[in-house]
A and B are shown apart, each in its own frame.
Chain A
Amino acid sequence: MSIEQQVIERAKEGKLLTHKCTSCGFLHLSTAYFCAKCGSKGFEDVLLDGVGSIATYTIITVAPSGFEKYTPYAFVVMAVDNSELRISGFMEGIATPADLPVGTRAKITGFDERGILIQKQ
């Protein structure tokens, strides 16, 4: 299974697959093939709960092709609990900034044609 496919399968379980460097312990998203800190290639898989808080986001009203039927929706960047990592994704049902203050608790809930799905907790 390709790395991207593994990320997708884990997202469907509400999890975030990460790569921990076996040399220096630095944690990356699993699409990393070499350590950004020390440059070594050895990683072990670490499965995190896909939960965290919204670091930033936007509410999109003019959408790329295929997303028109979902507007307005949010594209969010979520800071993942118990790590220094952030993960971005699609969040439905967000119409105004009042619906999603920065810091709102959120979680990964799946993956479909809208990419990694994130919802408010």
Chain B
Amino acid sequence: MEKVCVLGAGSTKYGKLPDSIADITTQASVAAIESAGISPKDIKASYISNVFGVADKQVHIGPVLMSRLGISDKPSLTIESACGSGSVSFREAYANVAAGFYDCLLVTGVEKVTHTGTEWTTTYFAYCSDFFYEGQAGASFPGLFASMARAYLTEFGATEEDFAQVAVKNHDNGVLNPKAHMQKKITIDDVMKSAVVASPLKLYDCCPFSDGASSVILCSEKFAKEHGGDYVEVIGSGRGGSPAALQGREHMTTIPSTKLAAADAYKMAGITAKDVDFAEVHDCFTIAEVVDTEDLGFFEKGQGIQAVREGRTKLNSDISINPSGGLKSKGHPIGATGVGQVVEVYDQLTGKAGARTVKDAKIGLTHNFGATGASCAVHIFQSV
């Protein structure tokens, strides 16, 4: 297999964006191309992750993007894997470079949904569940994660205030990220007093619906060396699956696909969880970050909440979790999220993360899943 590198990365700001889905897709892609110092003509194909293009009247975004980049003759592929679309798209691109099919690919994720309003997004996001059993019975996505939260509260004696600390920590990080959707410090009291969305989760336990696009250039090590510029190496890539519905899982406080993807990625990288300096994890809800940090092996099952209480996941503590602000504060433009995590890792490992820099970081991990973790991808990166 070829060694695979990330040669450049770029993002739009996340939030409520006025520009069209085609515009923001292109803006992020151009930023990545310029960051890599390459010409669009160097790109052999693109992988686009997007879920609700229909909301902005544009599906089949790939050829639109390629046309705008002046490379309409190059192929593109759009990938949907719910909220995990970005990392799955990255994985497919990774596999193609590793196999030697292509030496340079563009991976761009995008979503444009905020103009549709809360009812539309709540309704359509629920279509990512196992609809016959879940969405059809009135389950929303906050509701499904709230069901996991209820189980965690019951099983491990956590409190709702403990979950609130995750939100406070991620907002502390997001304030340092100029591209974050919610650049605002919050307090535990703010979280506890926010409106209940799906008990026990309140508004500030939930990530926002965001617009945004993120993009990276993925290439062979040979290509990276020839084209100069800063790059990081992808040293691990893993995927896994879980029963689509929560009811299919023996334990409601763990996500099987995370464990499977992480085991694959750690094995490929030849490292363990202890070697990871920082991680961008899928914190669509505060409970998710706690479960993720356990399933990724950073903490024992049931101990993730204690780590939060002790501040061990804050920026530059034991392990910096979501230095970007995570989905919670940076925002969650569904199809872009998994690619945006890679942008953050690239920025961190190439000294471009500014005030939120994780000190002396050499190894970063991304963890992104679809729905309630029915699909998942984990990637591990190393500075060179």
Residues of A whose CB lies within 8 Å of any CB of B are 4, 7, 29, 31, 55-67, 70, 73, 75, 77, 84-90, 96-97, 102, 114-116
B123/A64 in contact, CB under 8 A:
yes
Q: 12 A-B residue contacts at CB 8 Å? A: A7-B132, A29-B247, A56-B246, A59-B196, A64-B138, A64-B140, A65-B122, A75-B137, A114-B137, A114-B138, A115-B136, A116-B133
With beta carbons under 8 angstroms apart, the residue of B123, B139, B154 that contacts A102 is: B154
Nearest CB in chain A to that of B250: its residue: A84
- Whether A87 touches B147, Cβ cut-off 8 Å, given contacts A64-B140, A73-B138, A77-B252, is no
A55/B143 in contact, CB under 8 A:
no
A64/B133 in contact, CB under 8 A:
no
Nearest CB in chain A to that of B243: its residue: A36
Shortest Cβ distance from residue B380 to the other chain A in the assembled complex, whole angstroms: 29
CB contacts (< 8 Å) of B247 on chain A: these are 29, 77, 85-88
Roughly how many angstroms separate A66 CA and B119 CA in the complex, as a whole number?
A: 10
B200/A97 in contact, CB under 8 A:
yes
CB contacts (< 8 Å) of B136 on chain A: these are 114-115
Q: How many residues of B contact A (CB 8 A)?
A: 38
B150/A63 in contact, CB under 8 A:
no
B122/A64 in contact, CB under 8 A:
yes
Roughly how many angstroms separate A73 CA and B132 CA in the complex, as a whole number?
A: 18
- Whether A75 touches B138, Cβ cut-off 8 Å, given contacts A55-B151, A55-B252, A58-B150, is yes
- Whether A57 touches B126, Cβ cut-off 8 Å, given contacts A75-B139, A88-B137, is no
Closest 7 CB pairs of A and B: A115-B137, A58-B146, A115-B136, A59-B199, A65-B123, A86-B247, A56-B151
Roughly how many angstroms separate A114 CA and B139 CA in the complex, as a whole number?
A: 10
Q: Is the interface of B mostly helix, strand, loop or mixed?
A: helix
Nearest CB in chain A to that of B133: its residue: A88
- Whether A60 touches B154, Cβ cut-off 8 Å, given contacts A31-B132, A55-B252, A88-B247, is no
CB contacts (< 8 Å) of A56 on chain B: these are 147-148, 150-151, 154, 246, 252
Roughly how many angstroms separate A57 CA and B139 CA in the complex, as a whole number?
A: 10
Shortest Cβ distance from residue B76 to the other chain A in the assembled complex, whole angstroms: 32
Roughly how many angstroms separate A97 CA and B149 CA in the complex, as a whole number?
A: 13
B198/A59 in contact, CB under 8 A:
yes
With beta carbons under 8 angstroms apart, the residue of A88, A89, A97 that contacts B199 is: A97
CB contacts (< 8 Å) of B151 on chain A: these are 55-56, 102
Nearest CB in chain B to that of A58: its residue: B146
CB contacts (< 8 Å) of A63 on chain B: these are 122, 138, 140
In the complex, whether B269 has a CB less than 8 A from a CB of chain A is: no
Nearest CB in chain A to that of B199: its residue: A59
Roughly how many angstroms separate A52 CA and B149 CA in the complex, as a whole number?
A: 21
CB contacts (< 8 Å) of B195 on chain A: these are 61-62
Roughly how many angstroms separate A58 CA and B252 CA in the complex, as a whole number?
A: 13
Nearest CB in chain B to that of A101: its residue: B154
In the complex, whether B142 has a CB less than 8 A from a CB of chain A is: yes
Nearest CB in chain B to that of A54: its residue: B150
A89/B148 in contact, CB under 8 A:
no
Nearest CB in chain B to that of A87: its residue: B247
Shortest Cβ distance from residue A66 to the other chain B in the assembled complex, whole angstroms: 8
B198/A61 in contact, CB under 8 A:
yes
Roughly how many angstroms separate A35 CA and B166 CA in the complex, as a whole number?
A: 39
B147/A77 in contact, CB under 8 A:
yes
- Whether A62 touches B252, Cβ cut-off 8 Å, given contacts A57-B147, A75-B138, A114-B137, is no
In the complex, whether B135 has a CB less than 8 A from a CB of chain A is: yes
Roughly how many angstroms separate A84 CA and B127 CA in the complex, as a whole number?
A: 27
In the complex, whether B72 has a CB less than 8 A from a CB of chain A is: no
A60/B148 in contact, CB under 8 A:
no
Q: Which residues between 185 and 208 of chain B lie within 8 Å of chain A, taking CB atoms? A: 195-201
With beta carbons under 8 angstroms apart, the residue of A29, A61, A62, A75 that contacts B134 is: A75
Roughly how many angstroms separate A90 CA and B134 CA in the complex, as a whole number?
A: 9
B198/A115 in contact, CB under 8 A:
no
CB contacts (< 8 Å) of A57 on chain B: these are 147, 150
CB contacts (< 8 Å) of B317 on chain A: these are none
CB contacts (< 8 Å) of A60 on chain B: these are 138-140, 142-143, 146, 197-199
In the complex, whether B245 has a CB less than 8 A from a CB of chain A is: yes
In the complex, whether B272 has a CB less than 8 A from a CB of chain A is: no
Q: Which residues between 129 and 172 of chain B lie within 8 Å of chain A, taking CB atoms? A: 132-140, 142-144, 146-151, 154
- Whether A61 touches B197, Cβ cut-off 8 Å, given contacts A4-B132, A102-B151, is yes
In the complex, whether B118 has a CB less than 8 A from a CB of chain A is: yes
CB contacts (< 8 Å) of B137 on chain A: these are 75, 88-90, 114-116
